[in-house]
Amino acid sequence: MTNSYYSQFHEGRIGGDIIGNLTCGCVIDRLKTMRHQEKTRYSYRNYDPRQNPSSSASSSIPSPPHLPQSAPPTGPTLNSTWREKICHWSFNVIDHFDLSREVVAISLSLFDRYLATLRNRCNGSTALLASLTTLHIAIKVHEVRKVKLTTLANLSRGQFGARHIEEMEWKVLTALQWHIHPPTAMAFLSHLLLLLPPQVNDASKEEIYALSRYITELSVCDANFVEVSPSAVAFSAVLNTLEDRRYRRLISNSMRDQYLRAIAMHVGLRVEDAEVVGARPKLKRLLASSLGSVDG
Task: Provide the pLDDT confidence category of residue 9 given band limits of 50, 70 and 90.
Answer: very low
**The pLDDT value given to residue 80:** 80
**The pLDDT value given to residue 246:** 86
pLDDT one-digit tens code per residue, 151-165 = 999 998 889 999 999
Task: Provide the pLDDT confidence category of residue 21 given band limits of 50, 70 and 90.
Answer: low
Alpha helices (H) in the chain, listed in sequence order: 24-39, 80-96, 102-117, 124-142, 149-154, 162-175, 185-193, 202-220, 230-243, 253-266, 274-290
Mean pLDDT within 36-54: 85
**The pLDDT value given to residue 111:** 97
% of the chain with per-residue pLDDT over 90: 70
Angle subtended at Cα 238 by Cα 233 and Cα 239, rounded to the nearest 5 degrees: 95
102-117 helix and 202-220 helix, angle to the nearest 10 degrees: 30
d(CA 92, CA 275): 29
Mean pLDDT within 224-241: 97
* Alpha-carbon torsion, ordered 233, 236, 240, 241, to 10 deg: 70
Reported residue count of the chain is 296
Q: Is the pLDDT of residue 1 over 70?
A: no
Q: Which residue has the higher pLDDT, 167 or 63?
A: 167
Q: In a 10 Å sphere around its CB, with 0-12 CB exposed, 13-18 middle and 19+ buried, how is residue 161 labelled?
A: middle
* Alpha-carbon torsion, ordered 116, 45, 281, 14, to 10 deg: 110
Q: Is the pLDDT of residue 18 over 80?
A: no
- Asked if 57 contacts 48 with a C-beta cutoff of 8 angstroms, the reply is no
Q: Is the pLDDT of residue 195 over 50?
A: yes
% of the chain with per-residue pLDDT over 70: 82
**The pLDDT value given to residue 13:** 33
**The pLDDT value given to residue 67:** 54
**The pLDDT value given to residue 6:** 34
pLDDT, mean over the chain = 86
3-class DSSP state of 257: helix
Backbone angles phi, psi at 198, to 5 degrees: -60, -15
- Identify the helix (H) or strand (E) that includes residue 19: strand 18-19
Q: Which of 45-49, 181-185, 231-235 has the lowest mean pLDDT?
A: 45-49
